[in-house]
Amino acid sequence: MAEIQIKNIAKRFGTYQALHNIDLTISDQEFMVLLGASGCGKSTLLRIIAGLETPSEGEVWIGGRRIDHLPPKDRGIAMVFQNYAVFPHLTVFENIGFGLRMQKMPNDEVTRRVERTAELMHIEQLTGRYSGELSGGQRQRVAVARALAMEPDVILMDEPLSNLDALLRLEMRAELKGVLAESNTTAIYVTHDQVEAMSLADRISVMHEGRIVQAATPVEVYRNPAERFVASFIGNPPMNFLPATPVKGGQWSVAGQMMDGPSANKALEFAIRPEDLKIADSGLTAVAKVVEPLGAHLLVTCAVEGHQFRAVLDSDLVVKPGETLTFAPLADRVRWFDPDTQKAVA
């Protein structure tokens, strides 16, 4: 059992506050992805859990045990580093077995475990090589194998795929997901790639400027962003926003168009995903500016009353720049945000 509880963690570097009061619970065997833009504090949080960084405030618990005062080796964790950190002076075999040797495990047990994990990661042919003789993808496999060989309660991964080319990343992503699903490990995975986050995660924690703004399943994060930041960060292209003014009890005026919405009595923001728009006879009037055929879809960037507005349309449609389009948003996909608090309004 390795439930991870992060309680009120804060981290300051001098006067700079990298993390603000993080609270997060990750259940046993869950695959949690920390997603956020560069510099938002993902690595810092991961390194605090690993014990490579000390929190300024707060506690970390793993499996019902407070561990933030323990050295990394006593926390039941293993880690995959962004630049792999595969030891150059050791063979692949000794790299994978490094942690086991440090535990003074008997030789035959080390051999057994190293061989099994090497096989799992499809690098059994490479065990005699040095890291200088490996490709980036192979090195990455060694880094994962080294972590898995420890049979840890928790595996921490800091952007492990970010140095690989797109195709290899896709392949490794699927493999990683398969391998981890079969182990009983709780995983925390740091990335700034939302597609990676969506495809791997049981739950995603979206981070922004040292805070966790939403922790939910990928679908939930995508469909029901808790904050405007999440809505604008997740999804490619991101969500469209338009100012909305209340007319009367649940009726809203958006770009001159009447819409049903929440019963608030202040200006809100109307939000809709580009793929949740249909061409219709009446609706939001938009002028097409840029038309990008993407194969499967047609991405049209328009202006709605001077606001940038994107639509993902069927690739059979023919749209020319300058053309005026009328979009009807799918009613159950419309979301509303409070511009003052940035929070979603139901």
Partner 1 sequence: MNPRILPYVLILPVTLFLCLFFLYPFVLVSKQAFSTGAGFTLENFQDVTSHWKFPISFKNTLLLAAAVVPVQLALALLMATMVNGMGRGRDLVLYVWTIPLGISDLAAGIIWLAIFEQSGFLNSMLSGLGVIDKPVSFLSYQHPGVVFLAIALAEIWRATAIMLVILVAGIGLIPKEYYEAAEVFGASPWKRFWRITLPLLRPSLQTALVLRVILAFEIFAVVAALGGTLFPVLMGETYAYQFELLNGGAAAAIALIILAISIGFTLLILRILRVPKGASI
Nearest approach in angstroms of CB 55 to ligand ATP is 13
71 binds partner 1 (CB under 8 A): yes
Cα-Cα end-to-end distance for the chain = 36
In the bound state with ligand ATP, the residue whose beta carbon lies nearer, of 72 and 243, is: 72
Structure tokens given for 289: 């500016």
Binding of residue 98 to partner 1 (CB under 8 A) = yes
CB closer to ligand ATP, 40 vs 272: 40
Tokens of residue 290, six digits: 């840029």
13 counts as binding ligand ATP under rule CB under 6 A? yes
Q: Which residue is nearest to Mg ion (CB)?
A: 43
**Interface with partner 1 (CB under 8 A), residue from 21, 56, 61, 72:** 72
> Using CA atoms, how far apart are residues 68 and 270, in angstroms rounded to an integer?
43
**Selected binder of ligand ATP within 4, 22, 26, 42 (CB under 6 A):** 42
Q: How far is the CB of 190 from Mg ion (least distance, A)?
A: 6
Stretch 155-214 residues interacting with partner 1 (CB under 8 A) = none
Other Cβ atoms closer than 10 A to 241: 19
Q: Is 103 in the site for partner 1 (CB under 8 A)?
A: yes
Q: Which does 150 bind (CB under 5 to 8 A by kind): ligand ATP, Mg ion, partner 1, none?
A: partner 1
Check: CB of residue 145 under 8 Å from CB of residue 123: yes
Taking contact as CB under 5 A, which single stretch among the options 35-43, 226-234, 242-250, 276-284 is the one that binds Mg ion?
A: 35-43
* Contact yes or no for 199/191 (Cβ under 8 A): no
What is the residue type of 326?
T
Binding segment for ligand ATP (CB under 6 A), chosen from 31-39, 83-91, 122-130, 131-139, is: 31-39
**Residue 6 touches which of ligand ATP, Mg ion, partner 1, none (CB < 5 to 8 A by kind)?**
none
Give the shortest CB-125-to-partner 1 separation in angstroms: 15
- Interface residue with partner 1 among 17, 20, 21, 52 (CB under 8 A) is 52
99 binds partner 1 (CB under 8 A): yes
> Is 70 one of the binding residues for partner 1 (CB under 8 A)?
no
Of 111, 175, 186, the closest CA to residue 149 belongs to: 111
**Between the CA of residue 164 and those of 84, 86, 131, 170, 171, what are the distances in Å?**
11, 15, 16, 9, 10
Q: Where are the alpha helices (DSSP H) in the chain?
A: 42-50, 92-96, 98-102, 107-120, 136-149, 166-182, 194-200, 218-223, 228-233
Out of 61, 81, 285, 343, the only residue in the binding site for partner 1 (CB under 8 A) is: 81
Judged by CB under 6 A, the number of residues near ligand ATP is 12
Which of 6, 22, 24, 41 forms a contact with ligand ATP (CB under 6 A)?
41
In the chain, how long is the greatest CA-to-CA distance?
Answer: 76
Decide: is 87 part of the binding site for partner 1 (CB under 8 A).
Answer: yes
The two three-digit tokens of residue 67, written as one number = 């561990």
- Bridge partners, residue 130, by sequence: 91
Distance CA 89, CA 134 (A): 13
Structure tokens, 134: 């490996």
DSSP 65-104: EE-TTS-GGGTTEEEEBTTB---TTSBHHHHHTHHHHHTT
Instruction: In angstroms, give the least distance from the CB of 206 to Mg ion.
Output: 15
Measured from the CB atom, the residue of 139 and 208 that comes closer to ligand ATP is: 208
320 contact choice in Mg ion, ligand ATP, partner 1, none (CB below 5 to 8 Å, kind-dependent) = none
Q: Which residues bind partner 1 (CB under 8 A)?
A: 50-52, 71-73, 77-79, 81, 83, 85, 87-90, 98-99, 102-103, 129-133, 146, 150
